[in-house]
Amino acid sequence: MTQSQAIRKQLIVFDFDWSLTDQDTDRYVLEVNAPDLRRKMKDLGSEVQWTDLVTQSLEELHKRGVTREQIEHSLKIMPFHPAMIRVVSAVKAAESPITSFICLSNANSVFIETILKDKGLESLFDEIITNPAEWDPSGLLKLRRRIDPNGPQHNCEVGCNANMCKGAELTSFLKRSDQTSFDRVIYVGDGSNDYCPVLRLRSQDIVLCRRYRGLEQKIIKQGGLKCQVIYWAGAWEVEEILNKL
Ligand SMILES: [Mg+2]
Ligand SMILES: [Zn+2]
């Protein structure tokens, strides 16, 4: 790419589930520890707000005696491609361009940090923007929505689900970090909730869109993107793409 000479400073934004990783944390933890709750989650998915549903499932796991160690173990064995570890480590270590990483995820801080630490990536991200969670002393993982359900909600008109508008989160990150300082933004995502932030990218920015999932469908059906789109299916292709950019 000839434009790469002009890129001194770039931002790479990663969605977490099915983007940095090869699975979905909320679902996988239940698939490993309580498949009946995984089924219940699928059945109730359209009625109960997603983060509330995960919160309830974690409470039920705790009631059944599933321990913190068991939950952490399931996160550590969750599929995570070695090519992804290689490429983000290499891009972060490179002197040119200088790359900052942030994570935008509707999972939660504990799931994400547990996995990053296990993969030696705990210092990858400057910011992890997600739902807050913490272990209480009894081993219950207490999870809360990022946006307090009793306070003002986001006012996204693109169609983001309740609790998180990743577009608004990206805009607010760029504002507080001085938007003009990034010559290029690269967004790696797969889900329909990655569409809103991707719509806000500029012509010099790039989305790395995972194939066969919600984001690809939205891009095809609704379009409207100003940024360049590069499709991928396996993490080894993200490695190839980022090494060339
Ligand atoms: Mg995702
Ligand atoms: Zn939105």
Q: pLDDT digits over 142-180, tens only?
A: 999 999 999 999 999 998 988 999 999 999 999 998 756
pLDDT at 1: 47
How many whole angstroms from 214 Cα to the centroid of ligand 1?
A: 9
* Ligand in nearest proximity to the CA of 209: 1
Which one of the listed residues 17, 26, 194, 205 is annotated catalytic? Answer: 17
How many whole angstroms from 78 Cα to the centroid of ligand 1?
A: 14
pLDDT at 3: 53
Residue 15 a catalytic site member: yes
Residues 6+ apart with CB under 8 A from 124: 88, 89, 92, 101, 116
How many whole angstroms from 16 Cα to the centroid of ligand 1?
A: 6
Residues 6+ apart with CB under 8 A from 42: none
190 is in an annotated binding site: yes
Mean pLDDT of 230-234: 98
Question: Which of 1-5, 22-26, 125-129, 206-210 is predicted least confidently?
Answer: 1-5
* Ligand in nearest proximity to the CA of 158: 2
Whole-prediction pTM: 0.95
pLDDT tens, residue by residue, 50-77? 999 999 999 999 999 999 999 999 999 9
15 is in an annotated binding site: yes
Mean pLDDT of the chain: 95
Domains of the chain are: 9-23+80-136+144-243 (3.40.50.1000)
Mean pLDDT of 113-129: 98
How many whole angstroms from 30 Cα to the centroid of ligand 2?
A: 28
Which one of the listed residues 15, 26, 194, 205 is annotated catalytic? Answer: 15
How many whole angstroms from 119 Cα to the centroid of ligand 2?
A: 30
